[in-house]
Amino acid sequence: MSAADTKAISIAETEIRRITTEASAAQNYDNPVQFQSPWSGFYITRALSDDWFFAMGGIHLSATGVVTVHKPAEGAQPSITAEYQLHVHDRYNWDGDKSTEIAGITVSDKRMGALHTAGLAREYDIAGSSQVRRFEGDSTVERTGEPARAPGGRDGERSDPTR
């Protein structure tokens, strides 16, 4: 699991815990509650991945979903059902005051911005969402963020040619 995925799952878990706490305190059981987290910044460093560092660098992460807190048996913790998606967004542009070293050469955002002005480079948006992830269980259990698997599955990584 990547550091960005871990951060995104943490964002979703924060919202799930918040909703669980509020529903339990209000005894608002068996009513689905939607959430949308605020966007949170995350920086992909070269130590995490050269490819993702150069492709994206700083990104924004968010989570949306639905949480249902189920009425507990006497003396037990409430159980929850949560379905959520993780989202990423980045506007790749050249700020002018940053630079990075590529193969021993310092490449500045100012130089890349000049290429954009000349029509030889383009700024772009990156946006994506995970598949729906599902958690069912005791409200005190740590969620893993493992996605729900579709029947017939397309499990495997992007590098898996059988996917």
Q: What are the CA-CA distances from residue 45 to residues 9, 103, 122, 161 (Å)? A: 19, 16, 22, 28
68 Cβ contact partners less than 8 Å away, ≥ 6 residues apart: 30, 31, 32, 33, 80, 81, 82
Closest CA to 83 of 147, 159, 163, 26: 147
Instruction: Encode pLDDT of 88-145 as tens digits.
Output: 999 887 777 788 888 888 888 888 888 888 988 888 899 999 999 999 988 655 544 4
Q: In angstroms, rounded to a whole number, what is the distance separating the alpha carbons of residues 150 and 15? A: 25
Instruction: Encode pLDDT of 41-96 as tens digits.
Output: 999 998 998 888 888 888 999 999 999 999 998 888 899 999 999 999 998 877 77
Backbone angles phi, psi at 79, to 5 degrees: -100, 160
User: What pTM, to 2 d.p., does this model score?
Assistant: 0.76
Closest CA to 86 of 151, 135, 154: 135
